[in-house]
């Protein structure tokens, strides 16, 4: 499929044909493609769990309120935010950027660009993503507002704000996964109705991790899994040209 065809094919399928299993390697390939999604400052503060064990699927389906999109799924893919890994992820990006600059930047600019990256990923990113009961976020907000008085400045820097940023980046990856699956004529359904505490317990996630999205997958069973025609707000009400 081309992109237009894949986007029109993709629907939130809520009932799958259990007689048609999906190749796990194809799903893994689509997950790998989702890593190409954009991520704020390239921090990539998320990870993915590909659930293929039937017992585990049943447990998570129950935590998803036993909705048919989960109970009939062949597999599940769960995207999880990992803001708690900000320090190691910033170091990973910095290490890569140093080599990237050395390989691809003019010699005379390499020193300054590396220094810029060291400040950005060595100091700014750790300060932006650290959390401490809202207190550090309050300090960041005061600093941002002070700078804002003299020049444009990003103001969404509280701990709640940075949590939203992490979830947005993770959601971009999840959407990329669903489009990749649609391109292969495979169905998905993103589910928001789930007991996050139970899901975290099943996956043995650390305290700092948060479940961003649970995506069921399989092959739609006729029209049973699709709720009729697709509705969208009229484009003229959503599109604004300035």
- Overall average pLDDT of the 157-171 stretch: 97
Which pLDDT belongs to residue 131? 93
- Overall average pLDDT of the 182-210 stretch: 97
If one counts every other C-beta atom within 10 angstroms of the C-beta of residue 202, the result is: 17
Question: What average pLDDT is seen over the chain?
Answer: 96
Closest listed residue to residue 126, CA positions, set 98, 79, 92: 92
Closest listed residue to residue 209, CA positions, set 219, 197, 221, 226: 197
Angle between helices 135-148 and 159-183 (to 10 degrees): 90
What tokens appear for 177 in the block?
């996964």
Q: Please list, in sequence order, all residues whose beta carbon lies within 8 angstroms of the beta carbon of residue 1, skipping any fewer than 6 positions away.
A: 9, 182, 183, 185
Which pLDDT belongs to residue 75? 98
Of the pLDDT bands very low, low, confident and very high (cuts 50, 70, 90), residue 211 is very high
- Overall average pLDDT of the 20-25 stretch: 97
Which pLDDT belongs to residue 228? 85
Query: Domains in the chain, ordered, with CATH?
Result: 3-85+161-238 (3.40.109.10), 89-160 (no CATH)
pTM over 0.85: yes
Closest listed residue to residue 81, CA positions, set 159, 173, 156, 178: 173
Of the pLDDT bands very low, low, confident and very high (cuts 50, 70, 90), residue 27 is very high
Alpha-carbon span 125 to 131, nearest angstrom? 12
Q: Which long-range contacts (CB under 8 A, 24 or more apart) does 204-210 make?
A: 205/80, 206/84, 207/84, 208/82, 208/83, 208/84, 208/85, 209/80, 209/81, 209/82, 209/84, 210/80, 210/81, 210/83, 210/163, 210/167
Residue 70 in 3-state DSSP?
helix
The 10s digit of each residue's pLDDT in 226-241 is: 888 999 999 999 999 9
């Amino acid at each position: 499929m081309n992109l237009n065809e894949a986007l029109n094919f993709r629907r939130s399928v809520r009932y799958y044909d259990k007689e048609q299993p999906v190749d796990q390697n194809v799903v893994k390939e689509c997950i790998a493609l989702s890593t190409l999604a954009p991520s704020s400052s390239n921090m990539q503060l998320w990870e993915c769990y590909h659930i293929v064990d039937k017992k585990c699927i049943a447990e998570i389906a129950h935590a998803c309120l036993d909705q048919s999109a989960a109970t009939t799924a062949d597999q599940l893919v769960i995207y999880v935010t990992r803001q708690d890994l900000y320090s190691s992820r910033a170091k990973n990006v910095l290490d890569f950027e140093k080599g990237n600059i050395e390989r691809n930047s003019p010699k005379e600019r390499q020193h300054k660009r590396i220094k810029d990256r060291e400040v950005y990923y060595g100091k700014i990113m750790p300060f932006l993503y650290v959390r401490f009961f809202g207190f550090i976020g309050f300090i960041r907000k005061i600093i941002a507002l002070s700078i804002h008085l003299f020049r444009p400045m990003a103001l969404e820097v509280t701990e709640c704000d940075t949590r939203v940023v992490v979830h947005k980046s993770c959601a971009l990856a999840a959407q990329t996964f669903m489009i990749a699956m649609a391109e292969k004529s495979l169905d998905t359904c993103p589910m928001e109705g789930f007991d996050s505490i139970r899901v975290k317990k099943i996956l043995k996630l650390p305290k700092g991790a948060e479940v961003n999205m649970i995506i069921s997958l399989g092959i739609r069973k006729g029209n049973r899994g699709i709720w009729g025609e697709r509705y969208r707000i009229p484009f003229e009400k959503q599109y604004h040209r300035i």
